[in-house]
């Protein structure tokens, strides 16, 4: 395969990935009325009892302040509750409200987003190959994009 054909193939594959992600985000929003990042937070709260803000940030690979903003939005929409843990007042307990549960139930899978779900299905060897290939591309990118690594895809 010649270089021009391979370049077109790689570009086409990126378009397919980004197009599929955008389509999934649109489906999430149409079915739930929520952005994909908020659906992911609801999913994490539902899946992990007593999950903390830090644990949500770690699972989503975003900053804690991003999660705090997402939680504030979900609280304003009455989709979650946030109460102090009676055993440890320093810790907040997050729970879905009935409406939050309904919205989450309406969300098409994967609720954590298409790309995180696909990445989680890779073997360690496949993940290393993708990581190496992506690192090669990122070496060619302008340095001003480095801060994007912790931004939710749905907000880009």
Tens-digit pLDDT profile for residues 63-95? 899 999 999 999 999 999 998 878 888 878 899
pLDDT at 140: 84
- Answer yes or no: is pLDDT of 23 > 90: yes
Q: At what angle do helices 3-32 and 36-47 cross, to 10 degrees?
A: 70
Q: At what angle do helices 36-47 and 98-106 cross, to 10 degrees?
A: 110
Distance (Å, whole) CA 129 – CA 152: 23
pLDDT at 149: 59
pLDDT at 89: 80
Q: Higher confidence at residue 6 or residue 85? A: 6
pLDDT at 126: 98
Choose the weakest-confidence range: 87-101, 118-132, 135-149: 135-149
- Answer yes or no: is pLDDT of 139 > 70: yes
Domains and CATH numbers, the chain: 23-155 (1.10.10.10)
Residues of the chain with pLDDT > 70: what percent? 91
**What is the pLDDT confidence band of residue 16, given thresholds at 50, 70 and 90?**
very high
How confident is the prediction for the chain on average, in pLDDT?
89
> What predicted TM-score, i.e. pTM, was given to this entire model?
0.84
Distance (Å, whole) CA 55 – CA 45: 10
Strand partners of residue 82:
94
* CA-atom Rg of the chain in angstroms: 18
Mean pLDDT of 91-115: 94
């Amino acid at each position: 395969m010649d270089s021009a054909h391979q370049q077109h193939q790689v570009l086409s594959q990126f378009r397919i990935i980004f197009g599929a992600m955008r389509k999934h985000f649109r489906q999430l929003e149409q079915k739930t009325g929520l952005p994909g990042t908020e659906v992911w937070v609801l999913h994490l709260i539902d899946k992990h009892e007593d999950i903390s803000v830090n644990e949500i940030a770690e699972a989503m690979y975003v900053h804690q302040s991003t999660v705090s903003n997402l939680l504030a939005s979900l609280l304003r929409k009455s989709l979650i509750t946030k109460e102090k843990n009676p055993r440890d007042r320093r810790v907040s307990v997050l729970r879905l409200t009935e409406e939050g549960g309904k919205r989450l139930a309406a969300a098409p899978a994967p609720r954590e987003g298409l790309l995180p779900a696909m990445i989680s299905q890779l073997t360690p060897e496949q993940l290393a190959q993708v990581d190496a290939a992506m690192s090669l591309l990122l070496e060619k990118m302008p340095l001003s994009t480095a801060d994007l690594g912790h931004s939710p895809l749905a907000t880009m």
